[in-house]
């Protein structure tokens, strides 16, 4: 049963004046993060609430995380709930605190035992469809390493826009893609160990939806391949065994990685 403290915390986040919330976040940031980092501040508030804030806490991340919370089966994967919905504060992402340990804090053998469950989570994500426009829920510039150093740099209004983005970057090798026949599925695009919590009841919770959105599923495969540690290699092998790609998907997977490489060399 939910504690009265958590209920009051949610009530406060939803109904308190915005200037109070901003001041509260800054106060706890000074207390909890005395040494500033390049990553967005994440602080824990009273009442079982965590907040991520700053310019990278975009409306698209908030909307996509909430969409995932509403459409994914918690028996397969948990997603932190946003207690501020439907009154969102721009640049602030509030979510429930998830107790447990991130997978990068666990023994290697425990992580190896998790890989089949993680591959199942990937498959479950890809069973969720809901947008015919690539990118985060509600629109916005797609973010993440999959696009290069500076995110996608533009918002996609259609699959044709995504095609054009890739094709501009692979024109030099006389290749092209056409994603119109691919379904757009929910992709997380940052399933590294620090973004996955093993909860106290054994459930797995997926954090940090800043790169997530609706894309062809090969984008998830490409994102997983960009992690080069031994743990990611195990995960990648299991995902490749679980997700059997068609021949055309395999070709297009190579091309989107070439497009990323081109974006990292120069702005197009």
Q: Are both 154 and 247 inside the same structural domain?
A: yes
pLDDT over 70 at 18, yes or no:
no
* Residue-level pLDDT at 48: 78
In the chain, what percentage of residues exceed pLDDT 70? 84
Q: Are both 31 and 156 inside the same structural domain?
A: no
* Upper half-sphere CA count for residue 56 (Cβ side, 13 Å): 15
Q: Are both 78 and 137 inside the same structural domain?
A: no
Q: What is the pLDDT of residues 202-235, one digit of tens each?
A: 999 999 999 999 999 999 999 998 887 777 788 8
Q: What is the pLDDT of residues 145-188, one digit of tens each?
A: 999 888 999 999 999 999 999 999 999 999 999 999 999 999 99
pLDDT band at 6 (very low <50, low <70, confident <90, very high): low
In the chain, what is the greatest distance between 2 CA atoms, to the nearest angstrom?
62
Q: Which of 54, 79, 97 is the last residue of a domain?
A: 97
- Of 43-47, 118-122, 251-255, the poorest mean pLDDT is in 43-47
Q: What is the pLDDT of residues 82-133, one digit of tens each?
A: 766 555 567 778 888 899 999 988 887 777 778 999 999 999 999 999 878 9
Q: Are both 187 and 228 inside the same structural domain?
A: yes
Token pair, residue 267, equals 């702005």
Which domain covers residue 11, as residue numbers? 4-97
Q: Which of 75, 97, 119 is the last residue of a domain?
A: 97
How many CB atoms sit inside 10 A of residue 142's CB?
Answer: 26
- pTM here is 0.85
* Residue-level pLDDT at 191: 94
The end-to-end CA distance of the chain, in Å, is 53
pLDDT over 60 at 5, yes or no:
no
* Residue-level pLDDT at 44: 77
Instruction: Tell me the CATH number at 168.
Output: 3.90.1200
Q: Are both 141 and 250 inside the same structural domain?
A: yes
Q: Are both 141 and 213 inside the same structural domain?
A: yes
* Residue-level pLDDT at 79: 97
- Of 21-35, 125-139, 182-196, the poorest mean pLDDT is in 21-35
Q: Please answer whether residues 156 and 133 qualify as being in contact, where contact means their C-beta atoms are separated by less than 8 angstroms.
A: yes
* Residue-level pLDDT at 86: 52
Q: Are both 115 and 189 inside the same structural domain?
A: yes
Mean pLDDT calculated for residue range 36-54: 75
Task: Specify the number of domains making up the chain.
Answer: 2
Among residues 71, 189, 179, the alpha carbon closest in space to that of 122 is found at 189
Q: Are both 53 and 168 inside the same structural domain?
A: no
pLDDT band at 45 (very low <50, low <70, confident <90, very high): confident
Q: Are both 123 and 218 inside the same structural domain?
A: yes
Looking at the DSSP assignment, which residues form a beta bridge with residue 197? 102, 205
pLDDT band at 1 (very low <50, low <70, confident <90, very high): very low
Q: Are both 111 and 224 inside the same structural domain?
A: yes
Q: Which of 35, 69, 97 is the last residue of a domain?
A: 97
Residue 212 φ then ψ, to 5°: -75, 160
Of the two residues 62 and 31, the one the predictor is more confident about is 62
Location of structure tokens 């979510």: 95
Query: Average pLDDT, whole number, for the chain?
Result: 86
Q: Are both 62 and 85 inside the same structural domain?
A: yes
Q: Please answer whether residues 156 and 147 qualify as being in contact, where contact means their C-beta atoms are separated by less than 8 angstroms.
A: no
Residue 196 φ then ψ, to 5°: -125, 125
pLDDT band at 13 (very low <50, low <70, confident <90, very high): low
* Residue-level pLDDT at 72: 98
- Of 36-45, 134-143, 226-235, the poorest mean pLDDT is in 36-45
Q: Are both 223 and 153 inside the same structural domain?
A: yes
């Amino acid at each position: 049963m939910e504690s009265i403290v958590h209920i009051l915390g949610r009530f406060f986040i939803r109904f308190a004046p915005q200037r109070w919330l901003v001041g509260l976040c800054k106060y706890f940031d000074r207390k909890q993060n005395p040494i500033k980092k390049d990553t967005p501040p994440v602080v824990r508030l009273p009442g079982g609430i965590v907040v991520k804030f700053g310019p990278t806490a975009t409306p698209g991340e908030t909307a996509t995380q909430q969409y995932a919370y509403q459409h994914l089966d918690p028996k397969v994967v948990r997603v932190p709930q946003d207690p501020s919905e439907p009154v969102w504060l721009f640049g602030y992402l509030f979510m429930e605190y998830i107790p447990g340990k991130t997978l990068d804090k666990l023994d290697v053998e425990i992580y190896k035992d998790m890989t089949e469950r993680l591959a199942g989570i990937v498959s479950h994500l890809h069973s969720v469809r809901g947008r015919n426009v690539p990118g985060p829920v509600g629109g916005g510039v797609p973010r993440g390493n999959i696009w290069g150093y500076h995110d996608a740099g533009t918002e996609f209004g259609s699959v044709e826009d995504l095609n054009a983005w890739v094709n501009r970057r692979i024109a030099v090798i006389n290749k092209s893609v056409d994603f119109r026949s691919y379904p757009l599925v929910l992709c997380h695009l940052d399933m590294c160990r620090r973004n996955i919590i093993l909860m106290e009841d054994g459930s797995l919770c997926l954090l940090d939806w800043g790169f997530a959105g609706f894309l062809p599923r090969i984008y998830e495969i490409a994102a997983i391949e960009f992690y080069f540690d031994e743990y990611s290699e195990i995960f990648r092998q299991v995902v490749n065994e679980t997700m059997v790609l068609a021949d055309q998907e395999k070709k297009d997977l190579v091309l989107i990685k070439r497009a990323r490489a081109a974006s990292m060399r120069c702005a197009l």
